[in-house]
Amino acid sequence: MIWLVSHSYTAAWASLAMALVGNQFSWIQSFVIPILFTFFGAALGFVASQIRDDRNAKRAKQSFMHAVGMELDALGNQLDATFLEVTDSTARVTRSSGAGPHFAFKLRTSVFTSQLGKLRDVADPLMIEVIHFYSDLGTLERIFESVNDFGGEYNSASVSSGEKDSARARLASGLIVLKEQLSGFGKRLRGLRAKLPPAEQSK
């Protein structure tokens, strides 16, 4: 009789324990596990997004460098042609023949200007060198403006008063500085261009 009571008591506790365990597992299954899967999915999505963004940023930088290289080819041709024009103008002014020059000089930098702001990361030595080169080109434009001013003064100067000679000297000096700057930028451009992807990439 005692054994039956004890056995019934033990069985009741076992049933209660199993019911509690079952309820707890059901709660875990319906609440905790979905939350864990949600967090895991979000973390996996974030990592995948970062990898995709990094890959896209790398491709954008490569495309930018390739486009800038092609623009530098055109800019190099522009600087070479302008150098010859300035050389010819310097010779005419030195010989005191003809009017002073007026250069309609506009740098072709639309690719760099329009695309740089779209890059996510410019922390790269070559990229910094490209940025510095384009930034320094502003100096060249200011020199052209000064030479045009000297040319205007020379053209309007009076010969009888001696103003023509002093204006010619300023103009000739400005043209010499301009030639030196064009030559220097040409060398920098060729050195920079050699570091960038070729215009025609091998497939």
Tell me: the pLDDT tens digits for 49-61?
Answer: 556 655 655 787 8
Compute the mean pLDDT over every residue in the chain, rounded to the nearest whole number: 79
pLDDT score at 81: 94
Residue 13 pLDDT > 60: no
Report d(CA 179, CA 86) in Å as an integer.
7
Of 31-40, 65-74, 99-108, 119-128, least confident by mean pLDDT is 31-40
Mean local confidence (pLDDT), 158-175: 86
To the nearest 10 degrees (0 to 180), the angle between helices 125-156 and 163-193 is 160
CA distances from 81 to 34, 74, 138, 143, 183 (A): 70, 11, 18, 17, 11
pLDDT score at 107: 86
Report d(CA 62, CA 196) in Å as an integer.
10
How far from the centroid of its chain's Cα atoms is residue 101's Cα?
Answer: 35
Longest Cα–Cα distance in the chain = 144
pLDDT score at 199: 78
pLDDT score at 170: 92
> Considering the chain, what percentage of its residues have pLDDT values greater than 90?
39
Tell me: the pLDDT tens digits for 84-130?
Answer: 999 999 998 888 767 889 998 888 899 999 888 888 777 789 999 99
> Considering the chain, what percentage of its residues have pLDDT values greater than 70?
69
DSSP 5-54: HHHHHHHHHHHHHHHHHHHHHHHIIIIIHHHHHHHHHHHHHHHHHHHHHH
Residue pair 44/168 in contact (Cβ under 8 Å)? The answer is no
pLDDT score at 3: 39
CA atoms within 13 A of residue 15's CA, in its CB half-sphere = 6
Model confidence band, residue 2 (pLDDT cutoffs 50, 70, 90):
very low
